[in-house]
Amino acid sequence: MLGLLLADEAWPHHWWFLIFPLFWLVVIALLIRFVFMRRGGCWSRDSSPRRAEGILAERYARGEIGDDEYRTRREHLRADAQT
Protein backbone atom coordinates (compact mmCIF):
# COMPACT_ATOMS: atom_id res chain seq x y z
CA MET A 1 0.00 0.00 0.00
CA LEU A 2 2.88 2.36 0.75
CA GLY A 3 4.20 1.76 -2.75
CA LEU A 4 0.84 2.69 -4.20
CA LEU A 5 0.72 5.93 -2.22
CA LEU A 6 4.23 6.91 -3.24
CA ALA A 7 3.68 6.00 -6.88
CA ASP A 8 0.33 7.79 -7.20
CA GLU A 9 0.96 10.85 -9.35
CA ALA A 10 -2.57 12.15 -8.91
CA TRP A 11 -1.75 12.99 -5.29
CA PRO A 12 1.07 15.57 -5.47
CA HIS A 13 1.67 15.78 -1.71
CA HIS A 14 2.45 12.12 -1.16
CA TRP A 15 5.16 12.74 1.44
CA TRP A 16 2.89 14.68 3.84
CA PHE A 17 1.55 11.50 5.41
CA LEU A 18 4.97 11.04 7.06
CA ILE A 19 4.82 14.37 8.90
CA PHE A 20 2.05 13.47 11.35
CA PRO A 21 3.53 10.21 12.72
CA LEU A 22 6.93 11.90 13.07
CA PHE A 23 5.33 14.81 14.89
CA TRP A 24 3.67 12.49 17.40
CA LEU A 25 6.89 10.52 17.90
CA VAL A 26 8.69 13.76 18.79
CA VAL A 27 5.89 14.78 21.16
CA ILE A 28 5.97 11.41 22.92
CA ALA A 29 9.78 11.49 23.19
CA LEU A 30 9.67 14.97 24.75
CA LEU A 31 7.02 13.86 27.25
CA ILE A 32 9.12 10.87 28.25
CA ARG A 33 12.17 13.11 28.68
CA PHE A 34 10.17 15.55 30.78
CA VAL A 35 8.92 12.77 33.05
CA PHE A 36 12.45 11.42 33.57
CA MET A 37 13.80 14.87 34.39
CA ARG A 38 11.02 15.51 36.91
CA ARG A 39 11.61 12.19 38.65
CA GLY A 40 15.38 12.61 38.80
CA GLY A 41 16.13 9.92 36.26
CA CYS A 42 19.20 9.53 34.12
CA TRP A 43 18.51 12.85 32.36
CA SER A 44 18.14 14.82 35.54
CA ARG A 45 20.15 18.01 35.84
CA ASP A 46 20.04 18.09 39.62
CA SER A 47 23.63 18.29 40.82
CA SER A 48 22.98 20.21 44.00
CA PRO A 49 25.13 19.79 47.12
CA ARG A 50 22.10 18.36 48.98
CA ARG A 51 21.89 15.54 46.47
CA ALA A 52 25.62 14.91 46.81
CA GLU A 53 25.33 14.87 50.60
CA GLY A 54 22.44 12.44 50.34
CA ILE A 55 24.51 10.05 48.24
CA LEU A 56 27.39 10.40 50.67
CA ALA A 57 25.07 9.64 53.60
CA GLU A 58 23.75 6.55 51.80
CA ARG A 59 27.29 5.27 51.24
CA TYR A 60 28.06 5.85 54.90
CA ALA A 61 24.89 4.04 55.98
CA ARG A 62 25.77 1.05 53.80
CA GLY A 63 29.22 0.90 55.35
CA GLU A 64 31.11 1.67 52.15
CA ILE A 65 33.02 4.52 53.81
CA GLY A 66 34.14 5.11 57.38
CA ASP A 67 33.48 7.91 59.86
CA ASP A 68 36.57 9.95 59.05
CA GLU A 69 36.10 9.75 55.30
CA TYR A 70 32.40 10.66 55.62
CA ARG A 71 33.14 13.74 57.73
CA THR A 72 36.00 14.84 55.48
CA ARG A 73 33.96 14.55 52.30
CA ARG A 74 30.92 16.21 53.87
CA GLU A 75 33.05 19.18 54.92
CA HIS A 76 34.47 19.45 51.39
CA LEU A 77 30.97 19.43 49.94
CA ARG A 78 29.78 22.11 52.34
CA ALA A 79 32.86 24.27 51.67
CA ASP A 80 32.31 23.96 47.91
CA ALA A 81 28.65 24.90 48.31
CA GLN A 82 29.57 28.13 50.15
CA THR A 83 31.91 29.33 47.40
pLDDT tens for 21-74 read: 899 999 999 999 888 877 765 555 555 667 888 899 999 999 999 999 999 999
pTM value is 0.43
Task: Give CA–CA dist 15/7, Å, rounded.
Answer: 11
35 shares its domain with 54: no
Per the structure, the complete domain to which residue 76 belongs is given by 47-83
Please name the residues in contact with 6: beta carbons below 8 A apart, sequence gap of 6 or more.
Answer: 14
DSSP 64: S
DSSP 22-59: HHHHHHHHHHHHHHHHHHT-TT-----HHHHHHHHHHH
Count of domains forming the chain: 2
Task: Give CA–CA dist 57/65, Å, rounded.
Answer: 9
37 shares its domain with 66: no
2 shares its domain with 37: yes
